[in-house]
């Protein structure tokens, strides 16, 4: 199942920079692990914002929820999820 996910990251100004840097490093490692596994298919920065647009390929809504809610930066994210299916006019396969 494919999902379009938007993550807006909002880190409070008074957050401990050292703790946040550690979370960002963990987030990067987890994001790259999930990309290598083929689960996090696309990861794009939204130009000019601390946001990303992503495509996930997971087996269920529950798997997506578990995956997103355990991301290290999740406590600082506003996440929006849209379920996708193939468009009948698409010339591409499901990738």
Ligand X SMILES: O=C(O)C[C@H]1C=CC(=O)O1
| Interface characters, 19-38, with ligand X (x: CB under 6 A) | --------xx--x-------
Distances (CA, A) of 22 to 17, 25, 34, 50, 69: 9, 5, 19, 17, 18
Q: Please, which residue, 82 or 89, has the CB nearer to ligand X?
A: 82
Which of residues 7, 23, 58, 67 is near ligand X by CB under 6 A? Answer: 7
Q: Does 8 bind ligand X (CB under 6 A)?
A: no
Distances (CA, A) of 12 to 31, 33, 46, 72: 22, 27, 20, 15
Smallest gap, in angstroms, from Cβ of residue 64 to ligand X?
Answer: 14
Q: Does 53 bind ligand X (CB under 6 A)?
A: no
């Amino acid at each position: 199942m494919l999902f379009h996910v938007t993550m807006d990251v909002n880190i409070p100004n008074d957050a401990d920079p050292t703790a946040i840097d550690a979370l960002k490093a963990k987030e990067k490692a987890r994001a790259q692990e999930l990309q290598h596994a083929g689960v996090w298919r696309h990861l794009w920065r939204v130009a000019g914002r601390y946001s990303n647009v992503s495509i996930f390929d997971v087996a269920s809504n529950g798997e997506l929820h578990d995956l997103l809610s355990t991301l290290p930066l999740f406590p600082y994210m506003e996440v929006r999820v849209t379920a996708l299916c193939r468009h009948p006019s698409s010339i591409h396969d499901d990738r």
